[in-house]
Amino acid sequence: MFKVLKEDIEVIFDQDPAARSYIEVILTYSGLHAIWSHRLAHGLFKRKLYFLARAISQISRFFTGIEIHPGARIGRRFFIDHGMGVVIGETCEIGDNVSVFQGVTLGGTGKEKGKRHPTIKDNVLIATGAKVLGSITIGENSKIGAGSVVLKEVPPNSTVVGIPGKVVIRDGVRIKDLDHTDLPDPTADRFKEMEREIAALKSKLEELKKERIK
């Protein structure tokens, strides 16, 4: 247990260049508080002490702004950066070395029963405001871009962006750290393509008008 708690602290130093000291991290990082509260609540949940587990999770939510259902299974070295608004559902399964940013939702679609929340494999990064919904799997080493809405399975070693989320990189190797300010946007690309087609049609129409005048 103490090894896991130590790893929860050390991953913050690995992921956050703003972390300066152990005292600062332990006392001021709401993501760490939420994870530790969840580990306690999850232990009670497994012992079928559901009310007490839920009470702890709601108290944690009040103080941290992060809601993790006590039934969710979370692996080692889980990192929540600026965690306000993070929501993790009951049947969510999260592997090792996973990082999520503020506003991320790992939720259900409201139509499923049983396993209704996503499975996040090892070494996944989910950027600010992304929503991963339903009983789907996000493969190892994948990146989910900021603001994306993911409703379908994501293969390993992929980068996903857009609404709905689309795989834009999949090369079978570990992807370099995602630049949240410079993401490919399939929707914007499509609009640009349509603008080019409209411009070409306007040009053709002008040519036809000139020919008619002659």
Q: What is the pLDDT of residue 186?
A: 64
Q: With pLDDT > 90 as the criterion, what percentage of the chain qualifies?
A: 43
Q: How far apart are CA 70 and CA 78, in angstroms?
A: 15
Q: What is the pLDDT of residue 64?
A: 92
Please tell me whether residue 92 adopts helix, strand or coil conformation: coil
- The DSSP line for 69-136 is -TT-EE-SS-EEES-TT-EE-TT-EE-SS-EEETT-EEE--SS--SS-S-EE-TT-EE-TT-EEESS-
Is the pLDDT at 182 greater than 60, yes or no? no
Q: What is the pLDDT of residue 174?
A: 47
Q: What is the pLDDT of residue 206?
A: 85
Q: What is the pLDDT of residue 163?
A: 81
Q: What is the pLDDT of residue 137?
A: 92
Is the pLDDT at 180 greater than 90, yes or no? no
pLDDT in tens, 104-160: 999 988 767 788 999 999 999 999 999 999 899 999 999 998 889 999 898 888 888
Q: What is the pLDDT of residue 49?
A: 94
pLDDT in tens, 51-100: 999 999 999 999 999 999 999 999 999 999 888 999 999 999 999 999 99
